[in-house]
């Protein structure tokens, strides 16, 4: 599925010219454009409002591309219904507010809308699932999740972190919900969009929402990340679309063999972990009998440093080893504290 169009509708010419080029070059399934723009700070471009709906209606009627826009309240639903839209999306900021999501779901109830739910900006999987559930409960059966990245708390080259483990967890919890990716808002810069889009394809996501503007540099919002329609075509041509299944006996046998090896190693890992916890519990006992504090920060620093270094020599990333041992250490401290009754 391809959803493509400008971040915002700015003028009738910009909307129609972008849609015309996109139709010719990439034939998107939906033409997107923001009409009401939720902005972090006031005084930035907040969208053209209702008059833009008539421009999108022209795209739908004259170019025959279904259109989609962001809604943030019940009033927006009423307006898009009046203009004959068959789809809408809930933005990353709105999805974080269950009152708003509920209000939108109730207002849209009974309408034949396809509903796209972006993830919230904070990496809270329950909030994302919760919003999807609110639409399910109102009887919508075409709900699609849009993975648009998460607010990075540290400086990164990307505008938002993809945190792929979160959409993967969503797919595990809600296997009937299709997930597409919005690489434009993850990247924040045109130069990273292709690599993010490829990663989404490697994860077998069901489609892409890409921002495209007929004159990206003049865009009134998100001008760093909008591609010209011809660049969208180049990006799509460069993508390697992977299939989730291949009918090849040799491949299946090889995969099965390697997975068996992984299974054995995973059980070994768990056995070793169990042995390790048995020892930390013993340590807990002797700390208790000698009235010694559970947390020994110097020992922990040494463990973390030596394991990270050893892991690095094996070719494992320091972040992985540190994260793994932090979890193990946290659990050991918890167990030893249980013994000491100080939780
Ligand atoms: C958008 O799609 O233009 C937009 C504002 O997205 P998000 O809600 O993901 O920030
Ligand atoms: Mn945008």
pLDDT in tens, 184-236: 999 999 999 999 999 999 999 999 999 999 999 999 999 999 999 999 999 99
- Hey, whose CA ends up nearest to atom 10 of ligand 1? 92
Burial 113-129 (b: 16+ CB within 10 A, else e): bbbbbbbbbebebebbb
How high is the pLDDT of residue 207?
A: 97
Shortest-distance atom of ligand 1 to CA 92: 8
Q: What does the mean pLDDT of the chain come to?
A: 95
Average pLDDT for 326-342: 80
| Distance of CA 119 from the midpoint of ligand 1 (Å) | 10
Closest ligand to the CA of 40: 1
Atom of ligand 1 nearest to the CA of 149: 9
pLDDT of 46-94, one tens digit each? 999 999 999 999 999 999 999 999 999 999 999 999 999 999 999 999 9
pLDDT for 341 equals 53
Residues 209 and 92: their CA atoms lie apart, in Å, by: 14
Rounded Cα gap, residues 166 and 187, in angstroms: 17
Of 10, 52, 92, 226, the residue with max ligand 1 atoms within 8 A of its CB, to mutate for a pocket test, comes to 92
User: Structural domain boundaries of the chain?
Assistant: 2-238, 249-339
- Evaluate whether 7 touches 210 at the Cβ level (below 8 Å): no
pLDDT for res 109: 97
Question: How large is the average pLDDT for residues 304-328?
Answer: 96
Helix (H) or strand (E) holding 309, with range, is: helix 297-313
* CB of 163 closer than 8 Å to CB of 201: no
- Rounded average pLDDT over 298-326: 95
Q: What is the mean pLDDT of residues 256-285?
A: 96
Separation between Cα atoms, residue 109 and residue 103, nearest integer Å: 10
Rounded to the nearest 5 degrees, what angle is found at the Cα of 340, between the Cα atoms of 337 and 343? Answer: 45
Is residue 339 very low, low, confident or very high in pLDDT (cuts 50, 70, 90)? low
Residue 79 Cα to ligand 1 midpoint, Å, equals 19
Q: Which range has the worst mean pLDDT, 71-75, 178-182, 294-298? A: 294-298
pLDDT at 39 over 50: yes
**Which whole number is the average pLDDT over 300-322?**
95
Instruction: Name the β-bridge partners of 117.
Output: 90, 145
Q: Which of 7, 10, 160 to mutate to test the pocket of ligand 1 (most atoms within 8 A of CB)?
A: 7
Q: What is the pLDDT of residue 103?
A: 98
pLDDT of residue 336: 82
Please report which ligand is nearest the Cα atom of 91: 1
Pick the closest to residue 121 from 156, 160, 157 (CA basis).
160
Q: What is the pTM of this model?
A: 0.85
Span 8-30, mean pLDDT? 98
Percent of the chain residues topping a pLDDT of 70: 98
The rounded Å distance from CA 8 to ligand 2 centre is 7
Check whether 161 has a pLDDT greater than 50: yes
Residue among 6, 8, 27, 18 nearest 236 (CA) = 27
Distance in Å from the first CA to the final CA of the chain: 50
- CA 189 vs. chain centroid, Å, equals 17
Percentage above 90 pLDDT, the chain: 88
| CATH code assigned to 2-238 | 3.20.20.70
CA 237 / ligand 1 centre spacing (Å): 25
Above 90 in pLDDT, residue 41? Answer: no
Q: What is the CATH number of domain 249-339?
A: 1.20.59.10
The pLDDT value recorded for residue 340 is 54
Strand partners, 212: 227
66 Cα to the center of ligand 1, angstroms: 19
Site residues for ligand 1, CB cut-off 6 Å:
7, 34, 91-92, 118, 148, 185
């Amino acid at each position: 599925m391809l959803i493509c169009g400008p971040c915002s509708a700015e003028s009738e010419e910009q909307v129609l010219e972008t849609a015309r080029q996109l139709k010719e070059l990439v034939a998107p399934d939906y033409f997107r454009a923001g009409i009401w723009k939720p902005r972090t700070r006031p005084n930035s471009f907040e969208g053209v409002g209702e008059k833009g709906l008539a421009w999108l209606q022209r795209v739908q009627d004259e170019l025959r591309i279904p259109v989609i826009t962001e809604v943030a309240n019940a009033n927006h639903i009423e307006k898009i219904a009046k203009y004959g839209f068959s789809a809408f999306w809930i933005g990353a900021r709105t999805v974080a507010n269950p009152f708003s999501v509920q209000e939108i779901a109730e207002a849209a109830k009974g309408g034949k809308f396809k509903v796209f739910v972006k993830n919230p900006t904070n990496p809270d999987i329950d909030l994302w699932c919760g919003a999807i559930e609110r639409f399910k409960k109102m009887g919508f059966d075409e709900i699609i999740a849009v993975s648009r990245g998460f607010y990075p708390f540290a400086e990164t080259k990307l505008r938002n972190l993809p945190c792929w483990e979160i959409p993967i967890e969503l797919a595990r919890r809600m296997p009937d919900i299709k997930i597409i990716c919005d690489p434009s808002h993850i990247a924040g810069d045109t130069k990273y969009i292709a690599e993010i889009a490829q990663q989404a394809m490697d994860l077998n996501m069901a489609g892409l929402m890409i921002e495209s503007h007929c004159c990206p540099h003049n865009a009134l919002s998100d001008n760093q990340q909008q591609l010209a329609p011809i660049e969208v075509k180049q990006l799509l041509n460069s993508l390697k679309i992977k299939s989730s299944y291949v009918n090849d006996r040799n491949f299946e046998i090889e995969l099965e063999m390697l997975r068996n090896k992984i299974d054995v190693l995973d059980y070994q890992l768990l056995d070793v972990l169990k042995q390790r916890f048995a020892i930390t519990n013993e340590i807990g006992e002797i700390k208790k009998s000698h009235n010694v504090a559970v947390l020994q920060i110097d020992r922990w620093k040494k463990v973390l440093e030596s394991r990270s270094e050893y892991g690095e020599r094996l070719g494992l990333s320091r972040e992985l080893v540190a994260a793994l041992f932090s979890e193990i250490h946290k659990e050991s401290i918890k167990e030893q504290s249980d013994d000491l009754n100080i939780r």
